[in-house]
């Protein structure tokens, strides 16, 4: 008899529980707990609204029901702290939104190596602005460069895994400009030359690992004057430029609750 009474009581309470969710006021504004679902019935997100604005913790899920993000909204301003996850539950990224734009320091982790912090970047209004630092799996600094509202700006440095400088160059308004140096792992120069408006220019010197001069290539507007002799070295430099973002970051941070 007690069991039957408990079941009846639970059934009576169920409608009240359901009615307390997904409520709007007379003005049509969302109020209180909300759960939105995908067509397959899986939860898309769950959280609380106050006057149509999200407040407190919101959890968002993939269509397969896997936790995708946790965003905590600040009641006193337009700021929200966010943590994003990969499908296996490991952390993918974390940072702050202001008015739904990334702002300040954001951290990104590897999708294949748990706890490997790949990158730390600064944003302003969802655009990279400030220092960007990338790391090797052992947390040794791999690269740093500053950004000015989406354009690389200032010194660009890359490092060998032992911490010694691998590459040194300069950006102005998003373009390589001025001296460029690339080093062998033993610290000796490998390449030395100059850029003008993102193009190699003048004499570029290539050195052997022991420090002896191997070759001089003259460039004009980014093209080698003796391409048949400089093909291998030019290809190497082309790859350096093309792969300047070789430590890739999977950015899954583009969606917040609206």
Cβ atoms 231, 217 nearer than 8 A: no
Q: Domain ranges for the chain, please list them.
A: 77-243
CA–CA gap between residue 192 and residue 170 (Å, rounded): 13
Q: Where are the beta strands (DSSP E) in the chain?
A: 23-24, 30-37, 43-50, 53-61, 67-73, 79-85, 91-98, 101-109, 117-124, 127-135, 141-148, 151-159, 165-172, 175-176, 178-183, 189-196, 199-207, 213-220, 223-224
CATH topology of domain 77-243: Outer Surface Protein A; domain 3 (3.90.930)
For 68, 143, 147, 247, the CA distances from 123, given in Å and listed in that order, are 22, 17, 9, 18
Kindly give the confidence (pLDDT) of every residue in the chain, 258 residues in length, as a single tens digit, with 9 standing for 90 and above: 444 554 444 444 444 444 578 999 999 999 999 999 999 999 999 999 999 999 999 999 999 999 999 999 998 889 999 999 999 999 999 999 999 899 999 999 999 998 999 999 999 999 999 999 999 999 999 999 999 999 999 999 999 999 999 999 999 999 999 999 999 999 999 999 999 999 999 999 999 999 999 999 999 999 998 776 678 888 888 888 877 765 555 556 654 544
Q: Rounded to 5 degrees, what are φ and ψ at 175?
A: -120, 140
Q: Tell me, what DSSP letter sits at residue 239?
A: H
């Amino acid at each position: 008899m007690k069991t039957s009474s408990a079941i009846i009581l639970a059934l009576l309470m169920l409608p009240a529980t359901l009615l307390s969710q997904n409520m709007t006021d007379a003005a049509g504004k969302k109020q209180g707990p909300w759960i939105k679902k995908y067509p397959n019935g899986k939860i898309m997100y769950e959280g609380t609204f106050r006057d149509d604005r999200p407040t407190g913790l919101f959890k968002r899920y993939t269509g397969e029901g896997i936790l995708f993000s946790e965003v905590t909204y600040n009641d006193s301003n337009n700021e929200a702290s966010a943590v994003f996850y990969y499908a296996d539950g490991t952390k993918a990224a974390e940072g702050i939104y202001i008015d739904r734009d990334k702002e300040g320091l954001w951290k990104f982790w590897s999708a294949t190596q748990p706890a490997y912090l790949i990158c730390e970047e600064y944003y302003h209004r969802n655009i990279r602005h400030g220092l960007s630092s990338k790391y090797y799996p052992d947390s040794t600094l791999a690269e740093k460069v500053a950004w000015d509202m989406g354009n690389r700006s200032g010194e660009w440095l890359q490092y060998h895994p032992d911490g010694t400088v691998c590459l040194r160059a300069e950006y102005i308004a998003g373009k390589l400009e001025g001296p460029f140096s690339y080093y062998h792992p033993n610290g000796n120069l490998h390449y030395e030359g100059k850029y003008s408006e993102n193009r190699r220019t003048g004499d570029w010197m290539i050195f052997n690992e022991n420090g002896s001069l191997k070759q001089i290539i003259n460039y004009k507007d980014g093209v080698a004057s003796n391409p048949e002799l400089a093909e291998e070295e030019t290809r190497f430099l082309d790859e350096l430029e093309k792969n300047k973002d070789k430590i890739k970051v999977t950015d899954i941070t583009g969606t917040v609750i609206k």
